[in-house]
Amino acid sequence: ISYRAGSAARKPQQEGLMAMLRNLGRALGTAGTLAAGAGLVAYNCIFNVDPGRRAIMFRRFQGGIQDKEIYDEGSHFYLPLISQPIIMDVRTRPRSVKTQTASKDLQNVNLTLRVLTKPSVEHLPKIYQDLSMDYDERVLPSMVNEVLKGTVAQYNADQLLTQRDKVSLEIRQNLKDRLDNFNILLDDVSITHLNFSRDFSRAIEDKQVESQKAEKAKFVVMKAEQERQAKIIKAEGDAESAEMVAAAISKHGPGLVMMRKIETAKEISETLARSRNVTYLPGGKKGGDPSLLLNVK
């Protein structure tokens, strides 16, 4: 009887504890649901801007694209259904444009221009409103062609080759001025290909060949002139020497001629003495040709 009485006394306590636990479970479930919902809402209210990009904001009830809202790299908050971030690439983009035009002297010219461009960050809302995301595709092809044709038409074909740096600089300045109107920044311009028609290229080669031939002929003429001058100088020297010898002979007699004969005979004797095939010096016959000693007595 006492056991049944104790069990009956503890039963209300157990039911109260179970009710408390059920209430706590419901409270925790509600809190978890709210936390999960809050986390989901917070996650959907965050957008990320990756490196090399910027974001602009479209607000449905505030006039659309906001001119002064430009978001840098990182994470940012926004209100879904009311606002919509638009991510834009602001890195430098390369682009090659080919065109065919005519020079000042009406020679056909084939050009390939490589340009590096990027959007102006502070004007991203304006660029998106006017040109959308593919702004470079809408602007660069026609703009580059127009600038190239206008600049090349100011130079002759040979000037495009000899003044290539000047032409490239002028193209860059003209293109920069035009792109500034669209808030597009120009980083670099380079002419990667420049060639002419086959006939003009062949004419250039022929001109180079003829120029080389002319230079060669000019060298031959200069060489002949130098040889002629050398001969004249040598003849003048020989004449002056002969005059001096004649003057010495007339003044001092044939002694100078005799001394020259002796010197010459000495040189001949030394040369023959060093030769293995000569063992004596033959003498001339009386009344005949002089000997190797030039008839020195």
* Model confidence pLDDT, tens digit, residues 140-198: 998 999 999 999 999 988 888 888 889 989 999 999 999 999 999 999 998 888 888 77
Tokens of 142: 């026609």
Average pLDDT, the chain: 78
Instruction: Return the number of other C-beta atoms located less than 10 Å from residue 287's C-beta.
Output: 5
- Predicted local confidence at residue 175, as pLDDT: 93
Beta strand pairing call for 83-89 and 53-59: antiparallel
- Predicted local confidence at residue 290, as pLDDT: 52
- Predicted local confidence at residue 123, as pLDDT: 93
Tokens of 149: 């044709």
Tokens of 22: 């059920």
- Predicted local confidence at residue 198, as pLDDT: 74
- Predicted local confidence at residue 104, as pLDDT: 87
Closest by CA to 77, choosing from 38, 41, 46, is 46
Closest by CA to 188, choosing from 108, 107, 113, 123, is 113
DSSP state, residue 253: -
Dihedral, 125, 127, 129, 135 alpha carbons, nearest 10? -140
Question: Which residue type occupies 234?
Answer: K
Residue 194 near residue 160, CB atoms below 8 Å: yes
Q: Is the pTM of this model over 0.75?
A: no
- Predicted local confidence at residue 2, as pLDDT: 46
* Model confidence pLDDT, tens digit, residues 41-65: 556 788 899 999 999 999 888 888 8
- Predicted local confidence at residue 284, as pLDDT: 52
- Over its length of 297 residues, how does the chain's per-residue pLDDT go in tens digits? 444 544 555 566 666 666 666 666 666 666 556 555 545 455 678 889 999 999 999 988 888 888 888 999 998 888 888 889 999 999 999 999 888 888 888 888 888 999 999 999 999 999 999 998 889 899 999 899 999 999 999 998 888 888 888 998 999 999 999 999 999 999 999 888 888 877 776 666 666 656 777 777 787 788 888 888 888 888 887 778 777 777 777 776 666 667 777 888 888 777 777 777 665 555 555 555 555 444 544
